Amino acid sequence: MVQSVVLCLACLLPATGPSAQASAGMFPESPFSNRSAGMTAAPFLKFPAGARLEAMGGTSAAGAQGCEAVFYNPAGIVIGSKSPRSDLGLGYSNLLTGANAGSVAYALSIGRNGTVAGGLVYFAHGGQTAYDAKGDPVGQFSPSDFALSAAYAHAFAGGKVRAGGLIKAIRSSLQSESAGAAAVDLGAQALGLVSLGDGPLDLGVSVSNLGMPMRLGGVSQALPLHLRGGFLWRVNPMLNAAMDGHLPVDDDPYMSLGVELLATVGKAGSAAVRAGYNQAHMRGIDGFAGATAGAGLDLGWLRVDYAWSPYGELGHVNRANLAFRF
């Protein structure tokens, strides 16, 4: 278990040595394979910011919707011209090894088909001990990171096709060093253009963290580029099923699956129970991992979502989101 924790912490720190120096381009050495693990900067960008999607295994290509979509697929932020026209979301994640992350997202309809949004995600780790070249402790430091995003999405074909993009400013601090970078995310969704049985099939694709490398502590590393594509099948009014294929620049490709059971609450509300599976959560971890679960309540003006993700001997991660429509 100690070795696993050390490895988890190591992925948050910049790599050093010849391999890291070779990572000075937009892609690390041996991209899109696990040979590039730990070879990208700003790994906090890979932490999920939405409890609903994480409870469904991280199936976000077609399933991302509302203001939280700014962290997954910017096409999903589209609100439309109907009231309510604003969506504000707050998120918090209790991560492994004493770390925590949070997010704030806001989306606003600016016309019949357009939506603008902003997002902030941060990562903070507990105090770490700094050592000198002799291995002697020389004090404490607390790594921290944040990314600030501005997005726009537009609906076409009567709202059935959506496309969006965003630009983000990234900042990472490690001991006495800090660095910044910029990146863009792009995405598209097609809603109900295909049917499977009696249920419509929504399709989605996105690319995240497309940008130039970040230089921190004299080492230049690529950003954690991530491509995803998948579907959300609205089987019936009480059941949704989703599947995504993921292509991260610093790991092997993997799949994620999710289901969502819905029940009506009151006149316009709904409650949900969710479960999923994420293949990446199992890699290099002993014990029960890969599965996800959660629940949610949507009252129209208020949404509350929770997600639980086990990571074997390392422990588990809790995520919660609170959102308001107005």
Strand pairing report for 302-310 and 114-124: unpaired
Tokens of 261: 């059971």
Residue 66 counted as domain residue: yes
Residue 36 counted as domain residue: no
* Residue predicted with more confidence, 17 or 24: 24
* Residue predicted with more confidence, 181 or 3: 181
The band of 174, judged by pLDDT with boundaries at 50, 70 and 90, is confident
| CA 135 from centroid of its chain's CA atoms | 36
Residues 200-232: pLDDT tens digits? 999 999 999 999 999 887 788 999 999 999 999
Residue 264 counted as domain residue: no
Tokens of 113: 């088909």
Query: Is residue 314 a contact partner of residue 285, using CB atoms and an 8 Å limit?
Result: yes
Residue 81 sits at φ, ψ, to 5 deg, of -90, -5
The beta-strand segments (E) located in 59-160 are 86-94, 100-109, 114-124, 128-131, 137-141, 144-156
Residue 141 counted as domain residue: yes
Residue 178 counted as domain residue: yes
Residue 266 counted as domain residue: no
Q: How many domains does the chain divide into?
A: 1
Give the separation between CA 275 and CA 308, rounded to whole angstroms: 9
Residue 301 counted as domain residue: no
The band of 266, judged by pLDDT with boundaries at 50, 70 and 90, is confident
The band of 17, judged by pLDDT with boundaries at 50, 70 and 90, is very low
Q: Who contacts 286 (Cβ-Cβ below 8 Å, separation ≥6)?
A: 4, 312, 313
pLDDT tops 80 at residue 273: yes
Average the pLDDT over 142-151 and give the result: 91
3-class DSSP state for residue 28? coil
Average the pLDDT over 4-23 and give the result: 38
Give the separation between CA 320 and CA 297, rounded to whole angstroms: 12
Across all residues in the chain, what is the average pLDDT? 88
Residue 276 counted as domain residue: no
* Residue predicted with more confidence, 22 or 274: 274
Give the separation between CA 63 and CA 24, rounded to whole angstroms: 34
3-class DSSP state for residue 213? coil
From the list 187, 125, 184, 204, the residue with the least C-alpha distance to 153 is 187
The band of 138, judged by pLDDT with boundaries at 50, 70 and 90, is low
Give the separation between CA 151 and CA 88, rounded to whole angstroms: 14
Output the pLDDT for position 140.
66
The whole-model pTM stands at: 0.86
For 155, the domain range is: 53-255
Sign of CA dihedral 4, 8, 13, 17: positive
